[in-house]
Amino acid sequence: MSANLMDGFSRKAFVFVLVPGLVLTCLSRPCPAKDKLNVVTTTTNLASIAEAVGGNHVSVAAISTGQEDPHYIAAKPSFMLKARKADLWIRVGLELEIGYEGLILEGSRNPKIHVGTPGHLDASQGIAPLEVPAGKVTRSMGDVHPLGNPHYWLDPYNGRIIARNICRRLAQLDPAHAGDYDRNLAAFNLALDQAMFGSKAVEAVGGEKLWKMQSDGSLDSFLKDHGLAPDGWLGKLGPFAQAKLDTYHRSWPYFLRRFHLDDFAELEPKPGIPPGPAHLLDVINTMDAQKARIILMEPFYNRADAAAVAEKTGARVVEVATAVHGQPQADNYLDMLDNIVTRFSAALGEVSR
């Protein structure tokens, strides 16, 4: 009896697991020899910068599409598959990926990208985080990040720091092409500087000095003294310095601070908590009192909330992606920032007429 049962079971086990397993084993093949470093990033922004710095020597993939909320990415098995072949894993850091990174790294069976190895890079190294909570952090504060606001890539200058971090790590993993990575980094920085300040200013004094002056507030007078008009992103947003606006989520402090803009309220009552009618009413009253006429939001949030506020206040909703491929115009990191500046400055221009 038992022998019959086992025979039956063996056949079924063969059908259910062993046959597919054996077939797959036979079909499996070793990975072909590769001549490029495999880089896998959590976000498309990091992927874009890694592509710019790595050039022809890297193959880059992001686990996200750029359209989703980067806080809520599910640890799909297919992401583990991507991470499995990675030579370098790059994360945003500041606990943005805390909900899924551990599962993906563990599921990847790839020890060389574990935290603490050369194959794992936290791109936030060297960034000065904003909004680091003081004192005890609890969930009553919403989805706060104890290490600081993680949306730092929206400050263009931090794009330089990310690129530098990637460049150094690529050079460490692939010293033979370190020179190429350095050259690519210089080209990326130049393109970023020109987008930020305009070509003439960069040619006149160089990007480093311009960033310095922009930080200490002396840039405007310097440009005036040298007969240079503000250009680039700074030229577009400069006229609206101190403009007041509202945002959906607290994603924008780095961007707004760089361009001297003022975010005084969010549609979310607390980070990650969807707005209710009472809070929206408060926002409407505050926007009216502050004469704020812009609501800045990412496309993955509910536009209906913003539209309801806009209808009561006459504000304009600017829906703009904060990730590469989040909108058709955001093809790479510079285009993503350019898309933000263009849409935002156009809306500011319209409401200030």
Partner 1 sequence: MMQMRTLGCNLRLAAVLLCAGAGWTGPARATGTEQPSLQEQITRLRQEIQDANDRHAAQIRRLQDQLDSLRQGTAEANEPAATPEPPAEQTGDHGRNAVRDTHPTGFNPDISAIGDVLFHTGKNEDGENENQFRFRELELALGAAVDPYGRADFFVSLEEDQDGEFGVELEEGYFTFDTLPHDLKARAGKVYSAFGKANQFHLHAMPWVNKPLVIQNFFGEEGMSEPGAELSWLVPNPWEQYIELIFQLQDNRNASSFADGRSRGLMYVGHLKNFFDLTSASSLEVGGSVATGANAARGEDHRTNLEGIDLTYKWRPPQQGLYRSLTWMSEVLLSQKEQGAEDPVDSYGCYSSLEYQFSRRWSAFGRYDYSQFPDDNEAHENAYTGGLTFAQSEFAFWRAQFTHTDGGGAEVPGSRNEFFLQLDFGIGPHRAHQY
Taking CB under 8 A as the rule, does residue 141 contact partner 1?
no
Of 57, 61, 81, 235, the residue at the interface with partner 1 (CB under 8 A) is: 81
Q: What residues contact 341, with CB distance under 8 A and at least 6 apart?
A: 233, 236, 237
Taking CB under 8 A as the rule, does residue 2 contact partner 1?
yes
Taking CB under 8 A as the rule, does residue 307 contact partner 1?
no
- State how far the Cα of 226 lies from the Cα of 26, in Å rounded to an integer: 71
3-state secondary structure of 71: coil
Query: Quick one: tokens of 255?
Result: 């961007």
Report the nearest approach of partner 1 to the CB of residue 288 (Å). 26
How many residues are there in the chain? 353
133-147: b (≥16 Cβ within 10 Å) or e: eeeeeeeeeeebbeb
Angle (CA) 212-214-217 rounded to 5° is 105
Taking CB under 8 A as the rule, does residue 103 contact partner 1?
yes
If one counts every other C-beta atom within 10 angstroms of the C-beta of residue 54, the result is 24
Per-residue binding string, partner 1, 265-294, x by CB under 8 A, is -------xxx--------------------
Per-residue binding string, partner 1, 163-202, x by CB under 8 A, is -xx--xx--x------------------------------
Report the nearest approach of partner 1 to the CB of residue 299 (Å). 6
What number of H helices and E strands is found in the chain? 15, 8
Candidates 47-55, 219-227, 297-305, 342-350; binding stretch for partner 1 (CB under 8 A): 297-305
Taking CB under 8 A as the rule, does residue 27 contact partner 1?
yes
Q: Which residue has the tokens 């049962």?
A: 5
> By C-beta, is 106 or 282 nearer to partner 1?
106
Candidates 50-58, 97-105, 229-237, 341-349; binding stretch for partner 1 (CB under 8 A): 97-105
Report the nearest approach of partner 1 to the CB of residue 16 (Å). 4
Of 119, 150, 159, 238, the residue at the interface with partner 1 (CB under 8 A) is: 119
Of 34, 36, 56, 115, the residue at the interface with partner 1 (CB under 8 A) is: 115
- State how far the Cα of 243 lies from the Cα of 332, in Å rounded to an integer: 27
Of 157, 178, 235, 290, the residue at the interface with partner 1 (CB under 8 A) is: 157
| Segment 36 to 75, residues that bind partner 1, using CB under 8 A | 64-65, 67-69, 72, 74-75
Given a contact cutoff of 8 angstroms between Cβ atoms, the answer to whether 246 and 262 are in contact is no
Q: Give 66: exposed, middle or buried? Use CB within 10 Å, 0-12, 13-18, 19+.
A: buried
- Alpha helices, DSSP H only, in the chain? 2-13, 19-27, 44-54, 77-84, 101-107, 156-173, 178-197, 199-205, 207-216, 219-225, 232-237, 253-258, 277-290, 303-313, 333-351
Of 120, 145, 151, 236, the residue at the interface with partner 1 (CB under 8 A) is: 120
Report the nearest approach of partner 1 to the CB of residue 176 (Å). 17
> By C-beta, is 57 or 168 nearer to partner 1?
168
> By C-beta, is 119 or 293 nearer to partner 1?
119
Query: Quick one: tokens of 239?
Result: 């006229």
> By C-beta, is 270 or 351 nearer to partner 1?
270
